[in-house]
């Protein structure tokens, strides 16, 4: 009798745990869909907040801190665009390594001194295009002061990690990365 009650308890506990896991998965998928749906709205708000646009120039500065503007509770540093693909993405000012962190976001560096590294997620409407890029494609980054920096995809590589020493390369003026299919895809860009 006692083992039958214990068996019922274990089956009930297992069912509760399965239901909780299904609920968490459902919440995560809903959050990802909402995040992708919010991107066009954020792009519109950033474009409305930008002053008149002008050409950006990389230069040595004592302070290469990028201007940020808070939009919908997230500090944004600019817009990343792939004009040939019609892609525009907002870029957050701070990298958050949690699953709930906003993507794309600045991992490190600055657009002003040619050290900017931006990470994204592989979900639809974010960096899902990364594995389809070709060398020579144009990429632009518009900072929140309206300066447009132009780049060309130099090469695309793969790595098993996304540590700063893996991502940084003196030849790259802009680096984009995303974890896709268990490996990190790194898009290295030089000045156009």
Length of the chain: 192
- pLDDT tens for 94-138 read 998 776 678 899 999 999 999 999 999 988 889 999 999 999 999
- Interacting residues of 85 by C-beta distance below 8 A, sequence separation 6+: 129, 137
Domain boundaries, the chain: 49-191
Q: Which of 49 and 15 is assigned the larger pLDDT?
A: 49
- pLDDT tens for 151-187 read 999 999 999 998 888 898 888 999 999 998 889 999 9
The domain over range 49-191 is classified in CATH as 2.40.260.10: yes
Tokens of 191: 């000045």
Residue 75: how many other CB atoms lie within 10 Å: 17
| Cα–Cα distance for residue pair 110/106, rounded to 1 Å | 8
pLDDT at position 146? 96
Report the predicted TM-score, pTM, of the whole model to 2 decimal places.
0.79
- pLDDT tens for 66-91 read 999 999 989 999 999 999 999 999 99
* Bridge partner residues of 88 (DSSP): 81
Distances (CA, A) of 30 to 23, 46, 74, 102, 128: 11, 24, 19, 15, 18
Question: Using an 8 Å Cβ cutoff, are 82 and 137 in contact?
Answer: yes
- pLDDT tens for 1-31 read 567 777 887 778 777 777 777 666 655 544 4
Give percent helix, percent strand, percent coil of the chain, each to the nearest 5: 30, 35, 35
């Amino acid at each position: 009798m006692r083992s039958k009650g214990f068996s019922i308890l274990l089956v009930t506990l297992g069912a509760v745990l399965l239901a909780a896991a299904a609920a968490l998965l459902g919440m995560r998928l809903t959050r990802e869909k909402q995040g992708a749906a919010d991107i066009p709205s954020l792009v519109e708000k950033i474009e409305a907040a930008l002053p008149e646009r002008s050409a950006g120039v990389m230069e040595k500065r004592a302070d290469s801190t990028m201007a940020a503007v808070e939009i919908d509770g997230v500090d944004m540093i600019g817009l990343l665009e792939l004009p040939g693909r019609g892609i525009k993405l907002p870029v957050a000012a701070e990298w958050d390594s949690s699953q709930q962190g906003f993507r794309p976001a600045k991992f490190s560096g600055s657009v002003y001194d040619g050290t900017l590294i931006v990470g994204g997620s592989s979900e639809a409407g974010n960096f899902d295009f990364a594995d389809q890029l070709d060398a020579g494609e144009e990429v632009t980054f518009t900072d929140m002061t309206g300066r447009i920096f132009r780049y060309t995809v130099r090469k695309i590589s793969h790595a098993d990690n996304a540590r700063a020493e893996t991502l940084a390369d003196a030849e790259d003026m802009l680096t984009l990365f995303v974890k896709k299919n268990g490996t990190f895809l790194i898009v290295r860009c030089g000045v156009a």
